[in-house]
Chains A and B, each alone.
Chain A
Amino acid sequence: MNDTIIELKGLTKRYGYGDTESFALKDFDLTIKRGEFIMIMGPSGCGKTTLLNIIGLLDRATSGEYTLNGKNVASISSARQARLRAKKIGFIFQNFNLIEDLSILENVALPLVYVNRPRTVRLKNASQALERFHLQEREYYLPGQLSGGQQQRVAIARAIVSDPEIILADEPTGNLDSHASNIVMEELKAIHEEGNTIIMVTHNPALTVYATRVINMLDGHIDTDVKTVADQNLPQPIDVKIKKRSKRTKSSKTNKSNKRRKH
């Protein structure tokens, strides 16, 4: 569980030229290991979302190196990058970003469209993912007919439907009340415990209790980078450690898929 999944070296993202030149990321180095739950915090405009977009292959850095699963991203064609987004990366957005004209079920099945799964398989997998978030009775609703919290759970279902390795969440609780936020965070925690790597941008310091590592960004570089109590590699109160460990062994990555099917 300790192998590196993402490695960023000297990553720079520049916007504008000349006098309007500004840097969203400046000489950014970061190494992320498989199974980490990273929270990225920092003031507006410090480059959090840009970082997330670059990691999610939606954006390209101006310079620097990004290695995903040991492969330099610059050498991957855009069509293959799209395939990677569909297979390995799940996105969760602040404003849910569901397609209004499609039913909940079809929204969740969307990533599977682009990895060439037959329709029946897509809908079956999507239905299973929705069941996990207790939304199976709303499969044929349109996104507009659901509450914010429900919509975000649909978005999380969409993010995990193709069994990705990395979940990228951009302020997933930003539009939600505290009750809905808690539900969403519990879901993310459960996903993390199945072995997924989660990188989440947030403004809410209270949420850092879920993270294994908290990164504070400032002006395009890392200000502080701390491992939290939730990280099992750190010395921590014994009861917490045992609790975590037992949970971890139950739901290690090997039986992750089985567990999801059972739900």
Chain B
Amino acid sequence: MDRQNRNRLVGLIFFLVLFPVLVMNVGAIGHYLDVMIFVGIYSLINMGLSLLMGYAGQISLGHAAFFGLGAYTSGILCTKLSLSPWLAMFAGVAITALIAYIVGVPSLKLKGHYLAMATLGFGVIVYIFFNEEVALTGGPSGFSDIPGLTIMGLNLNNDLYYYILVWSLVLLTLIFSLNVINSRIGRALRSLHDSEVAAAAMGVETSRFKVIIFVLSAAYASIAGSLYTHYVGFLSPSSFDLFLSIKLVMMVVVGGMHNIWGALLGTWLLTFLGNEWLHVFHDFDILVYGAILLAIVMFLPEGLIDLTPRMRRLWKGR
């Protein structure tokens, strides 16, 4: 791990430790801890999406489906079969990874627009499935009373404990992902992003690496889904619709899609915007989202993470 990554990691851990201390003592923003848990959950998905988009150069407009598959598998196994939540989480990852593999192998042979539409279509199909299989999923009204998580008898049904759990997993995933980026797979992926033809010509097994990353990102999303289920305790299809898939891509792009730290930044910013600060605009938040995304793509294509380096470049250029 290079120095920049190590410094950022230390900075992030520092922030994560201070955050609850600062927030919980101020009444008005005490619930920010709850928002931060959602930031963590979405960060898990978006780190995978960042690997896929920023490093492998492939888009997915269907990641809400993998998130939902993890969530529903956990929810159904825990309530209907009374399985242990941790076992259910594991089962969710297995099922989601399998489906991602089945969908990924033919989908990732497609390029650009076709891939985007294929993943979009897949996402909508899974969403319809959640809505229609009433016996299994509870249909549009969903189902509730999903038990919380416990570790060795300790009930995590408490914002602070859950915050620690979620963000520990985020940190582990982050370190793992940074290692993936700096591994042989990571180098192969970057060569894919620049030119798939050149990479293939150099002997990189392009399709295999693309599928590996796609399945890995689906597994991240599935874990996030399980964490979501046990935290919220309630599931309905509307939490996993097409707009969520688009919002996830948006978080990655707004933060900076060529950089996993950008994905974290974008997730943090847009989740706080969506859950907290956009309430001012309640009914036209979509409008604001669209405007933000458009502005970023047009004027800051490398995302917010590029803001300060870009300023510095401009400054030095003068």
A binds B: no
- Which residue numbers of B lie inside 8 Å of A, CB to CB? none
